[in-house]
Structure 1
Amino acid sequence: MSQRISPDTPGVDDPGPGRRIGIDVGTVRMGVASSNREATLATPVETVQRQTGFKDRDKADIDRLLEIVNEYDAVEIVVGLPRDLQGHGSSSVKHAKEIAFRLNRRLGGSIPVRMADERLTTVAATAALRASGVSEKAGRSVIDQAAAVEILQSWLDGRIAYLNKEMPHDHA
């Protein structure tokens, strides 16, 4: 019986304005996206080849992710949490949690690392790219980045909705 894994809620304990980094963790590659400073729009950054296994010390892939976080002066890291449609964790969840744990450990809690609901994002990204004429084989690293964009954009949209709910505006 698999345990239910709950993602974080965008906007809760929000660090405020600033760039976010979104990561789609795969077993072979990790897609990376970033947001603008206003935290409203996600764009692709790069694809990082996975090197660190479960029993390894942190390798160049973890170092590269931390470099990106520093380069973009990120205030929050959003790691996609792959789940099936019933909300149960898949084997990919272990990989996502491992990367999140390693980033959190290296950052010493200075930047929050969140787990975001990633249901269907890779599917959505693949379908969108296929519709635009990118073949799956040619576009694997592009698909990883597109999935990271989907994860992060969904988080940003959820964050805005949450913050707007918290602080109602007068619409005269």
Structure 2
Amino acid sequence: MTDDSKASPRGVTVGDAEAFAKLLGPGRLIGIDAGTKTLGLALSDVTRAIGSALETIQRTKFSVDAKRLLDITAKHSVQGFVLGLPSNLDGTEGPRAQATRAFARNLNALTPLPVLLWDERLTTVEAERMLIQADASRKRRAEVIDKLAATLILQGALDRMRLLNR
């Protein structure tokens, strides 16, 4: 028999904005676009009305990436994560979605903060279109695409939660 009372609290991953909202305390959320090479991050304001691009973490090992993410979380008093789930256009899940689910499970083991898996279909395409329309250079687009995609992911979830509260 093991003593689980000393174990760190485990977070939970949900796929429903309403269930996620019930798990949150007051404060900010972080949106995450988890790519193979980078983690694009966005941060909400304290009222959870607006998401803004925050930064891009160059991925190395999960433990290093998670430490950086949790340091940012503590600095901004974050209450939860909105993690983009890259489903295929037909709604099925491929290897990237499976890797994202694994990222969420690993994050749950490190923090009690809840994770919302948010359908991110076409957010990177939308971010690219927005940057092209803004006449951003190819170099500039590469620098900001991931955190802009994270902002779109976060904003979609914020908008959905706001509609649920009406």
TM-score band w.r.t. shorter chain: 0.7 to 0.9
Task: Give the unaligned 5+ runs of structure 2.
Answer: 1-13
Q: What residue identity is the alignment partner of 2:50?
A: L
1:20-60, Cα deviation, whole Å (9 max, x unpaired): 000000000110001000001000110001112xxxxx432
User: 1:170 maps to which residue?
Assistant: none
User: 1:114 maps to which residue?
Assistant: 116
What CA distance in whole angstroms lies between the structure 1 residues aligned with 2:20 and 2:117?
Answer: 13
Instruction: Rate the CA distance shift 1:97–1:36 in 2: closer, same or farther, 3 A.
Output: same
Residue correspondence of structure 1 range 139-150 to structure 2 within 5 A: 139-150=141-152
Q: What residue identity is the alignment partner of 2:159?
A: D
What CA distance in whole angstroms lies between the structure 2 residues aligned with 1:39 and 1:77?
Answer: 12
Of all paired residues, the percent bearing the same amino acid is 36
How much does 1:62 deviate? 1.3
User: 1:8 maps to which residue?
Assistant: 15
How much does 1:94 deviate? 2.3
Task: Give the unaligned 5+ runs of structure 1.
Answer: 1-6, 53-57, 165-172
Instruction: Rate the CA distance shift 1:13–1:139 in 2: closer, same or farther, 3 A.
Output: closer
- Is the Cα contact below 8 Å between 1:25 and 1:95 reproduced in 2? no
Matched, 1:74 2:78: yes
Q: What residue identity is the alignment partner of 1:87?
A: G
Q: What residue identity is the alignment partner of 2:103?
A: I
What CA distance in whole angstroms lies between the structure 2 residues aligned with 1:102 and 1:139?
Answer: 30
* Equivalent residue in structure 2 for 1:61, among 61, 65, 76: 65
Residue correspondence of structure 1 range 23-42 to structure 2 within 5 A: 23-42=32-51
What CA distance in whole angstroms lies between the structure 2 residues aligned with 1:95 and 1:13?
Answer: 21
Q: What residue identity is the alignment partner of 1:105?
A: A
1:37-90, Cα deviation, whole Å (9 max, x unpaired): 0001000110001112xxxxx432111111111111111111100012211112
Question: Normalising to structure 1: TM-score of the pair?
Answer: 0.82
Residue correspondence of structure 1 range 127-166 to structure 2 within 5 A: 127-164=129-166
Which 4+ stretches in 1 moved above 6 angstroms? none
What CA distance in whole angstroms lies between the structure 1 residues aligned with 2:20 and 2:104?
Answer: 17
SS in 2 for 1:143: helix
What CA distance in whole angstroms lies between the structure 2 residues aligned with 1:90 and 1:135?
Answer: 31
Question: Normalising to structure 2: TM-score of the pair?
Answer: 0.85
